[in-house]
Structure 1
Amino acid sequence: MAKDTEASGGRSASASSGEETVSGELTAFVLEGYEMRIRPAPLERPWMDDSAQRFAYRCLPLNIANAHGWELLCPTGFSAIWDGSPHREGVEVRADPGTIAPAVSHFGEGVLTFHLPCLFRTEPEHDLFVTGPLNRPKDGIGALTGIVETDWSPYTFTMNWRFTRPDYRLRFEADEPFCHIFPVRRGALERLQPVARHLSSDPELEREHKLWSASRNSFNSELERAEPESARQGWQKSYFRGVTPSGEKGVEDHRSRLRLRPFQPKE
């Protein structure tokens, strides 16, 4: 991988030409002597591949979340185990032969720490949401999540995982993702005013919901009776297609797949 890289944090389509235009930047400044392995997060997950008839991929919200950002990958493989104590020495990290493990025991309390090989810089007023690989559970350990003000901070940060049980040796393989990132607008949640209303206060939304509920119940009943057409379809696709139960288009910018740009070298 390149020693100094940058990538777009967003994109839009030109209505006149159909060409994509950059709408922002997400920059990674790689530290001297380090290697950064990073990629747009893929849609695919091994457990989804293994689901019956790849049924898990029919869940569009799951697909979009899988690809919603970029993944940092382990440069080398290693194993780790926790003895259940709160001490820093309670976590043992064992590098693969001839390599240096990308994670260490730093904080204690059963926490495994990855030092990221770069400084990220986002657009003004944008933070970086830092978490574990999305919808990619790992036995024996869980990823911790942080939000970093990367539009100004000159400080590196760590990606941390916490063991969920002691005396279980786990592995991170080379090129296995250990961190997932994406920019978020600072203060956006605080500017929202959450409200709770009865569904009946929005007659149009209530009508569409009732249409969907009746359609779903009917479809599920047909599946149980092994009706040929329902069995052939296997699932209802209205949300995937971005249409309402009455067949109207939901929104113009409905997405059924994300295609993020990879980080590109730049001097």
Structure 2
Amino acid sequence: MTTFSFHGCFSGAIEPTPADPALEGSPPFRAVTHCEPFRAAAGHGWYTRPPLDCSLKWDGASFTYRPSGSSEWLPLQHLSVADVCRLRGVSPPQDITEHLPVLSALPEPGVLQIWTGLLARTAPGWHLLVRGIPNRPGSLVHEVLEGVVESDWWHGPLIANLRFRRTDEEVRLSRHLPLLAVQPVRAEALRSGLRRETAFHPYGPGEPASAVAEFLTDAMSVRREGAPGGYRAEVARRRRAGDDGQE
């Protein structure tokens, strides 16, 4: 099978797009041009978008929403696939999907669950981390709660939870703006025993200090005085050489 596959579950679900190291033009020039760790994190995985255009508010007790093109705020407890399809003027699917929630207020105060309209399947040993967009400035009004889905065996709705931080402030969802990042994670990396396979070497004289000095010397050798981007250039060189750094 394909290592990663996404399936749209109703009309309006948007195909994920590869994550952009340049965050679609929003980050500082220096970060995009010279900082490989920034670029690698920002460009890891895919962007997903909401399947509808609307605005959301939380008043401290309940949610309301305003569909795109409307001036009326409506109570929001549960907005189903059928509701979203009607808002978009298309026919809903005549199956189990019709009644599944796209937006759903959870029992926890200020938490709203959103479904992208997608389900995901991954090859054995691969899971998916669902999170906000890495390195994009966060909203003061809401945040995306992160979660890992074991998508190599569970092929349900690809969802996320939004936690609202402020009341009576508008949050806009747009089908044209990325809302979530979906990033592949090896299942092995989540194994609980892996955390016990960690070593810490405190500073001390002799061999430990010598090793630290050697590590730092090697690391700093790729950074060029007065010329940013040395680490990025070294990463590119090693990739061209086949990851092991041997030309």
The alignment status of 1:194 with 2:194, answered yes or no, reads no
State the partner residue of 1:44.
Answer: 22
AA partner of residue 37 (structure 2):
P
Q: Is the 8 A contact 2:222 2:234 kept in 1?
A: no
Unaligned runs of 5+ in 2: 71-83, 89-100
State the partner residue of 2:92.
Answer: none
AA partner of residue 146 (structure 1):
G
Residues 28 and 142 (structure 1), Cα distance of their counterparts in 2 relative to 1, 3 Å cut: same
Q: Is the 8 A contact 2:59 2:167 kept in 1?
A: yes
State the partner residue of 1:227.
Answer: none
Residues 73 and 249 (structure 1), Cα distance of their counterparts in 2 relative to 1, 3 Å cut: closer
1:207-249 per-residue CA deviation (whole Å, 9 max, x = no partner) reads 3415766998x95xxxxxxxxxx3xx4x3x3211227xxxx96
Q: Is the 8 A contact 2:6 2:119 kept in 1?
A: yes
Superposition deviation, residue 84 in structure 1 = 1.7
Q: Is the 8 A contact 1:76 1:175 kept in 2?
A: no
AA partner of residue 208 (structure 2):
S
Q: Distance in 1 between matches of 2:233 and 2:143?
A: 34
State the partner residue of 1:104.
Answer: 103
State the partner residue of 1:67.
Answer: 43
Q: Distance in 2 between matches of 1:215 and 1:36?
A: 41
Q: Distance in 1 between matches of 2:215 and 2:104?
A: 53
Backbone CA RMSD of aligned residues: 3.4
State the partner residue of 1:153.
Answer: 154
State the partner residue of 2:128.
Answer: 128
State the partner residue of 2:169.
Answer: 168
The alignment status of 1:253 with 2:231, answered yes or no, reads no
Q: Distance in 1 between matches of 2:218 and 2:189?
A: 33
Q: Which has the higher helix share?
A: 2
AA partner of residue 55 (structure 1):
R
1:207 to 193, 211, 214: 214
1:95 to 67, 87, 100: 67
Q: Distance in 2 between matches of 1:212 and 1:153?
A: 41
Q: Is the 8 A contact 1:91 1:105 kept in 2?
A: no
Q: Distance in 2 between matches of 1:254 and 1:169?
A: 49
State the partner residue of 1:77.
Answer: 53
Aligned-pair identity in percent equals: 25
Superposition deviation, residue 132 in structure 1 = 1.6
Residues 103 and 171 (structure 1), Cα distance of their counterparts in 2 relative to 1, 3 Å cut: farther
> Paired residues, what number?
206
1:69-100 per-residue CA deviation (whole Å, 9 max, x = no partner) reads 01112344321111122xxxx12121102774
Unaligned runs of 5+ in 1: 1-7, 9-23, 220-229, 256-267
Q: Is the 8 A contact 1:74 1:178 kept in 2?
A: yes
